[in-house]
Amino acid sequence: MITCIITYQIDPYKKDLFDTYARNWGQAIPECGADLVGYFSPHEGSTTTAYGIYNIESMAAYEAYRQKLMAHPIGKANYKFAQKEKFILKEYRLFVKNASLPHTDFIAP
């Protein structure tokens, strides 16, 4: 299992548009094969940093998921919404693996 962390730089004056975008992914992402942890918009501190986080089986599964998402009716509409409204200024993806699993008792180095 890998986790994708998307870091967004958003227009702080269009945070409400990003929140709509985030809610739209709540249905499309799981339907296309990823386990959505959630989308997180600024609350305190930075007014321009937001995150999308989901788990997926592998990079091969990610590639298939991306194709499904681009063809999904909500996915297509959400991509167009973001392009039209321009509330996302930059977007970065990071893929990580949970190195602490399984959570067990201390293991001497």
- Report residue 101's pLDDT band, with 50, 70 and 90 as the boundaries: confident
pLDDT digits (tens, 9 = 90+) for 61-75: 999 999 999 999 999
Q: Pick left, alpha or beta for residue 33 (phi over 0 → left; psi -120 to 50 → alpha; otherwise beta).
A: left
Q: How far is CA 81 from CA 16, 44, 54, 74, 84, in A?
A: 13, 26, 21, 10, 5
Q: Compute the mean pLDDT over every residue in the chain, rounded to the nearest whole number.
A: 94
On whether the pTM is more than 0.85, the answer is yes
Amino acid code (one letter) for 2:
I
Paired residues of 53 in beta bridges: 5, 38
> Is 88 strand, coil or helix?
strand
